[in-house]
Structure 1
Amino acid sequence: MEYRDTARDFLGVGWKFPVEVDPVTGRVRTASSEENIQESVRLILLTGKGERMMHPEFGCDLRRYLFGVVTYTACTQMAQEVRQALIRWEPRIRDIETYVELDPADSARVLVHISYVVRATNNPYNLVYPYYINEGLEG
């Protein structure tokens, strides 16, 4: 009898991003289990609200901070925006915590820190997403 991890099956399978074709099988590469959730989190962060015609509320509105002044208030607002988007659009995770800080190595970039727990497996995960606020500007 084959053992199946039904908790991981629940996490699903989705396209791997960026989208790639497997040269051996000719099929689109996929991500499964926790990797699928990480891909989903990145997709939510990379998609601006209004970008999807049939789903205009999907995504995270980080683009409104482009070319803005990075202050403590702006970082707090960005962290809240990310947290609310993940709560709304990724039901497979819980205990979501976010904070945003200016990258000490690059003044044109902020680091979005995300931690969460996968509901089905109770596994904790952390992700640091670099986001360019003032790309191409001299610091």
Structure 2
Amino acid sequence: MRNREFLGQGLAFPLQFDSSGRLALVGGERDIEQSIFIILGTAPGERVMRPEFGCRIHELVFAPNNAETEGLLIHYVQEALARWEPRITVQDVLVSPSPDNDAMVLIEIRYQVKDTHDPRSIVYPFFLMGEE
């Protein structure tokens, strides 16, 4: 019971309805995965009533795809998840080019769920438009 309470439950993202017509809920590890995507997908200043929420990776959309940008992506992801997702410990963040798209990098986040010590990873695709 303790694990379930710690991991929590939240609205499914994107919003959807269950078979009874109510807003669908997700819990446990799936809730954490969706939370990570919400944090990384939100630029600071975008959320009403909590303008500091989000991740600064959006500042890099027009940055060149080079080692400096890769380092900033890693830093911004670690910083945002440490601040906004208390249920996990980030173990590593890796950035690699997408094999299918030159404008995309794949951000792999390796983390551990604090309450269960369950190691997990998730890949977040991010587009770099390059310098204009």
Both structures adopt the same fold (TM-score exceeding 0.5): yes
- Structure-1 residue corresponding to 2:4: 8
Counterpart contact for 1:8–1:121, Cα < 8 Å: no
Aligned mates of 1:118, 1:47 — CA distance in 2? 22
TM-score between the two structures when normalised by the length of structure 2: 0.92
Residue 134 of structure 1, CA deviation? 2.3
Across the aligned residues of Structure 1 and Structure 2, the Cα RMSD in angstroms comes to 1.4
Residue 96 of structure 1, CA deviation? 3.2
- Structure-1 residue corresponding to 2:30: 35
Matches within 5 A, 1:92-131: 92-131=87-126
Residue identity matched to 2:4: R
Q: How many residues align?
A: 130
Counterpart contact for 1:45–1:60, Cα < 8 Å: yes
In structure 2, list runs of 5 or more residues that go unmatched: none
Task: Summarize deviations over 1:23-63 as a string: whole Å, max 9, x none.
Answer: x2111111101111111111000010011131111100111
- Structure-1 residue corresponding to 2:15: 19
Aligned mates of 1:84, 1:48 — CA distance in 2? 13
Counterpart contact for 1:83–1:96, Cα < 8 Å: no
Does residue 127 of structure 2 align to residue 132 of structure 1?
Answer: yes
TM-score between the two structures when normalised by the length of structure 1: 0.88
Out of 56, 65, 69, the position equivalent to 2:51 is 56
